[in-house]
Structure 1
């Protein structure tokens, strides 16, 4: 098994592993392990895509979700690609806020330039143009804080996945 991970700076860590087993065999390992009565994780399996969630009782706003894609390469060789990230609702909300800050920055930059060109009072627009990048940095650090808060659960999901794949 070869494993490749990306750097720690990303909000949504990814990894990729190569296996000398068939795609169906790896999927059946997950099906068997997730149906076990001792398994506490919630999951969805659709074709070669597996989504594993934290149990409802332990779930909080920053709880991670593990998305696994199992793809056949050739013969008995498969690639398992994984992505840790927040639940889709949290990710969508976060991306919406980033988009809104970017649009506001562009809009207020244009407003400040136009008012400056017309020799009008552009102080408020300039203050907002300066404040928006600061807000963006705060949102980035909130994402990092959330990632740290969910890190233990992310480790638990990774350990569960590795236990399942190495059966």
Structure 2
């Protein structure tokens, strides 16, 4: 998967597998019992999360969420979603909402100042800074994804090995 050509920060993929959904799930359960030194899996029904264990984990380490759906007797559709650590993702979303909220508040203040014939330059400066901060957050998130690309490829390789075992 080429992560550099994607605008989205959370990469997605879809895979059709010619295996029964329950036997496929059993392969993931079997992988958890082998005690992989680098990964741990969380399995809840047909949702599977593959995470990197602590010695190799960094704040930018990705995880993979898989959702399996039966498409017949011996065919399974898998939707995969790579994402950053949930704590980091929550923090980035908090910053996005904070920036958006500040922008909206200063839009209202700028409108009020305009109606009251007061100067609006400082309001527009703050709004421009919020737009800059939003783009800066996007660049930071792209860098975090770039840092985790090697581990993302390793997780994908492990995922494919589990399916083919």
1:32 correspondence with 2:30: yes
8 Å Cα contact 1:63-1:153 kept in structure 2: yes
Distance of 1:38 and 1:94 partners within structure 2: 30
Q: Secondary structure at the match of 1:50?
A: strand
Aligned to 1:159: 157
Distance of 1:117 and 1:66 partners within structure 2: 51
Q: How far did 1:122 drift?
A: 2.2
Q: Say what the alpha-carbon RMSD is for the aligned residues.
A: 1.7
Deviations along 1:63-95, whole A, 9 cap, x unmatched? Answer: 101101111112111111111001222111111
The runs of at least 4 aligned residues of structure 1 exceeding 4 Å deviation read none
2:94 aligned residue (93, 96, 108): 96
Distance of 1:145 and 1:79 partners within structure 2: 31
Aligned residues: 163
Higher relative contact order (CA 8 A, sep 6+): 2
Aligned to 2:107: 109
1:130 aligned residue (128, 136, 143): 128
Q: Secondary structure at the match of 2:71?
A: strand
Name which of structure 1's ranges 39-48 and 149-158 shifts more when overlaid on structure 2.
39-48
1:120 aligned residue (114, 118, 140): 118
Distance of 1:30 and 1:99 partners within structure 2: 36
Deviations along 1:102-156, whole A, 9 cap, x unmatched? Answer: 1111110111121122121322212101111010000000000000011111011
Long gaps (5+) in structure 1: none
1:70 correspondence with 2:41: no
Aligned to 2:83: 85
